[in-house]
Amino acid sequence: MADSSNIVMNGDFSDGLEPWYPNGCQAFVVSSDSSSSDSGYAVVTNRKETWQGLEQDITPQVSPGVTYTVSACVGVSGPFHESSQVLATVRLERDDSPTEYLFIGKAIASRDEWVDVEGTFSIKNMPDRVVIYLEGPAPGKDLLIRSVTVKDSTSCDFLETEENIAASRGFPPALNIIENHDFSDGLCSWHSNSCDSFVVGSNNECNSESYAVVNNRSETWQGLEQDITDRVSPGCSYKVSASVSVWGPVVKSAQVLATLKLEHHGSETEFKLIGKTYASKDTWKTLEGTFVFSGRPDRVVFFLEGPPPGVDLLIKSVTIHCENNNQFERSRDFCPSAPEADHHIFLNSSFSDGLNHWSGRGCNLMLHESLADGRILPHSGTCFASATERTHKWSGIEQDITERVQRKLIYEASSVVRLSHSHHTVQATLYVQYLDQREEYIGISSVEANHDDWVKLKGKFLLNGSPARAVVYIEGPPPGIDVFVDHFEVKPAEKPPRSRRPYIESHVFGMNIVSNSHLTDGSVEGWFPLGDCHLSVGEGSPQILPPMARHSLRTTHEYLSGRYVLATNRSGTWMGPAQMITDKVKLFLTYQVSAWVKVGSGGGLTCPQDVNIALSVDGKWVNGGKVEVKDGDWHEVVGSFRIEKQAREVMLHVQGPSPGVDLMVAGLQIFAVDHKARLSYLRGQADMVRKRNVRLKVTGLDPDELSGATVKIRQTSNSFPLGSCISRSNIDNEDFVEFFLNNFKWAVFGNELKWAWTEPEQGSFNYRDADEMLAFCETYNIQTRGHCIFWEVESAIQPWVQQLSEHTLEAAVENRLTDLLTRYNGKFRHYDVNNEMLHGSFYRDRLGFDARAKMFRTAHELDPLATLFLNEYHIEDGFDSRSSPEKYIKLVHKLQRKGAPVGGIGIQGHITSPVGHIVRSALDKLSTLGLPIWFTELDVSSVNEHVRGDDLEVMLWEAFAHPAVEGVMLWGFWELFMSREHAHLVDADGEVNEAGKRFLEIKREWLTFVEGVIEDGEGGFEFRGCHGSYVVEVVTSEGKYVKNFVVEKGNSPVDVVIDL
């Protein structure tokens, strides 16, 4: 019997597929045999994309403002034994705005059993069309659907646990400072924070109490809050207990946080984490914690938050009571003796209990009140610990935190350290052993420590997987040096406030901020000599602006005076012309640098000289561009910079050549660049490079039926390759995996394929991590780059390789090539053969230049299908004279003359303050090689997330708009798993930051969406679209037809036949 409350028609497929439609694939119904009570199930087959599945239009059956509960019984079938995710999704189509997708829920299905996909959805404003569909398994796998139900959400199916019952009865109401703690009075006293909420009342049939549902959440911080200002006192300790659950698209569990918001007039709002728990569907969990605050804030607000966007937060009860006796019977004055809430993961962090809970890692531990006749005293407290008789660099003080640490939670470690003598790097490290015996060492932070004073060591870490053992320790100095530790704390890290877009007052793009750069009056006014050099004005420099300045300023009519600043009598490399620009530089603006430079023949000049445009920002050197000058001609130096912290003093200076060498500078230009103006140009370029005209020819239908039919074209993926760096531990974090699979089609392993990782000791191999990562990529049809076979920089090479003789090194190189490329033959699409050959020379110095070419030749013989790349950094920004585009081109030509089958050019792209014209110039020069160019390790860095997003936008569009660039790999995207600080797109807790949102916007802009009408009976419909995969939906008077097609790369118009 059909379920009358189910708004999905034919939810059990008893009537075949009517009114279901396969989306870009095929489907049929398998009927049950006569002995079974089941109606049968649908099989969705010939799937080539994860989004292809079965859908139904439910527009007439749904209403805005109503929450619907979805349940689908699903399975998978196909050639793979691995399980696959199945997703339920709602598509909201509007004629006047882009299509919207609502994620309902997902489940992990296998070939062996049926599983349920469950979740909820609601619609704020009624769209023109509402479609529910099931999707998700990897291409090639069949999706099996047994039943689908969508009902008005009125039932309550949550299970009571003993833990929840205890929580709901935890404290007498008289002691609870939360009003309406059990929602028996609806939402009275509660406020939903930028989302919606309602109360599900008690129901005798369900035998449950009331609970609040917080829904339509688009951010993790959205939840339910209550103002408790008048019911709390500073200094008193409060205990919190809340009974919570979640509902919606949750795979296993979702975190729920209790937070305290302290608002102060005239200063930033303060947030305190009270506690957290991991809640799952159908079960109530107890969230507990404590808080205490000092001072008198203007407003104190308690709130519950945390689950990912789209997941409903359910709250049954909340209690907060003061742990101080008789709190309500005495005056609410400041309580000076109240203890601070203890969230510390380390026990006895200040050694107040001696060395209890601490141990020595390859050393002995001692406790001191002072040392060196009182010259070394504790930094704080009464004593400090020392790690003595250290036998290795990794020896030091340690503490096991296995029982107190949680996965996917950010922790902050801080310590104050000192050395017995000398000065060396001291590092805090986390050692993790997982349940499968795999080991990992995570560097938390490092600092240069010395004998003279205490220094602070501070950093953060996060565990992706569940540890069998977790130990934090301090290491670093050579054996024989004692490490003193004053205190060592590890506690949950507080999340910093979100970045706001910086406000930049009264700036003009393109205006030169350098005083007297043209030397028009023949004097050096505005300039001063840095050091003991002498400045004068010379004649005979170029009278046109440097090329990159002309391109960026888009001017051809401005001329220079032909004069230059001449610096003579230079006794140091740092000496040269300088001027103060403190008041001219605006924070967070990107400035382009461009100048003519030349060196004289003084000082017995016999080798090329570096010339560097530099800034001294409160005494710290900032690179503005560098060029190598090796003849008597004028050269352009280009670069850029950005200052992100208010400085007391900013000095511009030109430096670099050897002492005694005269330095000449002409036409120095420093001006702010407008990346938005550049983007307008790049969009036009990308339209020519990445799009083509398409004429759809719809066939197979009667012309009368086709005439007037509506056409909706949706691009599902762009063919431009976009990937990211991943690590082995990343794939243990389901939040990381979800973002990665949703946004990337390529992967590169950060370290796990490098020789130092796969063979750290001679004959001791570790391919396990790479094998598991490759299996992960193959499961999800992710293409892979192999990084890297060799690394030319000596500091990156394991000690045993450095110690080999020439003959044994040559044999080891041959073995490395054979082992790696035989094991993974045909698995990696690309290989970085010998990383950073412009910056290192280990193999060249020992085996000769031909060894480099031989690496390419041998790799090609072993795996002829792989494209072999060079890979270098600072190619695109002008920051490094060793790796200019010209030197890169020269290296490629030299390798090719030696028979190296170079197949691609890798630009790493670790860039700061990018300028589009400079990047484009480098790409244009490299494109003369006729080889594909990839950005292989792209990341950008800024403390401000909006500025970081601007930089990423510049780089992605420069790549996308250049015809020689064939792919971009990001060097990660997840906080704490990036090689550079302030470079992440997703916070460690899974929240997409402003830079990440910009990345997603760019990806959406690279997709084409078109709607229209077939005007004639011949079935023709024309549009211009990006290269990639599409779905077309043709709706006629007789029905709807869905097909998928591909727009191949090319510039000329193309005809695509859609046979219905």
Q: What angle do CA 747, 750, 756 make, to 5 degrees?
A: 135
Annotated catalytic, 412? no
Which pLDDT band, with edges at 50, 70 and 90, does 327 fall under?
Answer: very low
Which pLDDT band, with edges at 50, 70 and 90, does 894 fall under?
Answer: very high
What is the widest separation between alpha-carbon atoms in the chain? 103
Nearest alpha carbon to residue 365 among 325, 337, 396, 405: 396
> Helix, strand or coil for residue 322?
strand
Work out the angle between the directed axes of helices 916-927 and 945-960 (0-180°, nearest 10): 30
For 521-586, where are the E strands, in sequence order?
528-530, 534-539, 563-568, 576-580
Per-position b or e across 15-30, b if 16+ CB within 10 A of its CB: eeeeebbbbbbebebe
Of the residues 440, 636, 937, 966, only one is catalytic, namely 937
- Alpha-carbon span 399 to 345, nearest angstrom: 10
Chain centre to alpha carbon of residue 326 = 49
Per-chain mean pLDDT for the chain: 89
Place of tokens 């698209």: 249
Nearest alpha carbon to residue 361 among 453, 268, 249, 441: 441
Which pLDDT band, with edges at 50, 70 and 90, does 992 fall under?
Answer: very high
Of the residues 55, 759, 836, 966, only one is catalytic, namely 836
CA distance to 149, 534, 579, 586, per residue, from 600 (Å): 82, 14, 22, 35
Contact 722, 746 (CB under 8 A): yes
Peptide bond connecting 188 to the previous residue in cis, omega within 30 degrees of 0: no
Instruction: Give the model confidence (pLDDT) of 456-468 as tens digits.
Output: 999 999 999 989 9
pLDDT at site 52: 87
| DSSP label of 569 | S
Q: What value does the CA radius of gyration of the chain take, rounded to a whole number of Å?
A: 33
CA distance to 105, 684, 832, 854, 880, per residue, from 792 (Å): 48, 40, 11, 14, 17
Q: Is the pTM of this model over 0.75?
A: no
Helices (H), 427-483: none
Instruction: Give the model confidence (pLDDT) of 921-971 as tens digits.
Output: 999 999 999 999 999 999 999 999 999 999 999 999 999 999 999 999 999
Which pLDDT band, with edges at 50, 70 and 90, does 332 fall under?
Answer: very low
Q: Contacts from 330-335 at CB under 8 Å and sequence distance 24+?
A: 332/233, 333/233, 334/233, 334/234, 334/235, 335/233, 335/234, 335/235, 335/236
Contact 127, 98 (CB under 8 A): no
Secondary structure of 654-672 in HEC code, one letter for each residue = EECCCCCCCEEEEEEEEEE
Which one-letter amino acid corresponds to residue 737? Answer: V
pLDDT, average across residues 279-285 = 83
Q: Which DSSP string do the residues of 670-694 spell out, in sequence order?
A: EEE--HHHHHHHHHHHHHHHHEEEE
- Alpha-carbon span 606 to 597, nearest angstrom: 18
- Alpha-carbon span 905 to 916, nearest angstrom: 19
> Helix, strand or coil for residue 343?
coil
Instruction: Give the model confidence (pLDDT) of 871-886 as tens digits.
Output: 999 999 999 999 999 9
Which pLDDT band, with edges at 50, 70 and 90, does 342 fall under?
Answer: very low
pLDDT at site 996: 96
Instruction: Give the model confidence (pLDDT) of 591-633 as tens digits.
Output: 999 999 999 976 556 789 999 999 999 999 999 999 999 878 9
CA distance to 92, 1056, 1058, 1059, per residue, from 703 (Å): 30, 18, 14, 13
- Alpha-carbon span 451 to 834, nearest angstrom: 40
| DSSP label of 1030 | E
> Helix, strand or coil for residue 405?
coil
Annotated catalytic, 323? no
For residue 96, what are the contacts with CB-CB under 8 A and spacing of at least 6? Answer: none
- Alpha-carbon span 624 to 612, nearest angstrom: 7
- Alpha-carbon span 960 to 672, nearest angstrom: 24
Place of tokens 């890979």: 871
Place of tokens 């509506």: 710
Work out the angle between the directed axes of helices 994-1005 and 734-743 (0-180°, nearest 10): 30
- Alpha-carbon span 1023 to 1053, nearest angstrom: 10
pLDDT at site 3: 61
Q: Which two tokens stand for residue 272?
A: 């305190």
Helix (H) or strand (E) holding 859: helix 849-862
pLDDT higher than threshold 80 for residue 776: yes
What number of CA atoms fall less than 13 Å from residue 638's CA on the CB side? 26
- Alpha-carbon span 261 to 271, nearest angstrom: 5
- Cα end-to-end span (Å), the chain: 35
pLDDT higher than threshold 80 for residue 166: no
Instruction: Give the model confidence (pLDDT) of 77-121 as tens digits.
Output: 875 456 678 889 999 888 777 788 888 888 888 766 788 999 898
Lowest mean pLDDT among 96-110, 698-712, 797-811, 929-943: 96-110
- How many residues belong to the chain? 1060
Instruction: Give the model confidence (pLDDT) of 585-599 as tens digits.
Output: 999 999 999 999 999
> Helix, strand or coil for residue 881?
helix
Q: Which DSSP string do the residues of 998-1013 spell out, in sequence order?
A: HHHHHHHHTS-EEEEE
- Alpha-carbon span 789 to 833, nearest angstrom: 5
Quickly count helices (H) and strands (E) in the chain.
Answer: 15, 56
- Could you tell me if residue 173 is left (phi over 0), alpha (psi between -120 and 50 degrees) or otherwise beta? alpha
Chain centre to alpha carbon of residue 63 = 37
pLDDT, average across residues 663-681 = 94
Nearest alpha carbon to residue 959 among 630, 685, 652: 685
pLDDT, average across residues 364-382 = 92
Q: Which two tokens stand for residue 499?
A: 């970045």
Q: Which DSSP string do the residues of 888-955 spell out, in sequence order?
A: HHHHHHHHHHTT----EEEE--EESS--HHHHHHHHHHHHTT-S-EEEEEEEE--SSHHHHHHHHHHH
Peptide bond connecting 19 to the previous residue in cis, omega within 30 degrees of 0: yes
Q: Which DSSP string do the residues of 587-650 spell out, in sequence order?
A: TT--EEEEEEEEE-STTT--S-EEEEEEEEETTEEEEEEEEEE-SSS-EEEEEEE---S--S-E
CB atoms within 10 A of CB 934: 29
Which one-letter amino acid corresponds to residue 297? Answer: P
Q: Which two tokens stand for residue 493?
A: 């890290």
For residue 557, what are the contacts with CB-CB under 8 A and spacing of at least 6? Answer: none
Work out the angle between the directed axes of helices 916-927 and 885-897 (0-180°, nearest 10): 20
What number of CA atoms fall less than 13 Å from residue 97's CA on the CB side? 10
pLDDT at site 871: 98
pLDDT at site 602: 65
What number of CA atoms fall less than 13 Å from residue 29's CA on the CB side? 21
| DSSP label of 175 | G
Backbone angles phi, psi at 410, to 5 degrees: -80, 130
Contact 957, 935 (CB under 8 A): no
Q: Contacts from 369-376 at CB under 8 Å and sequence distance 24+?
A: 371/484, 376/418, 376/484
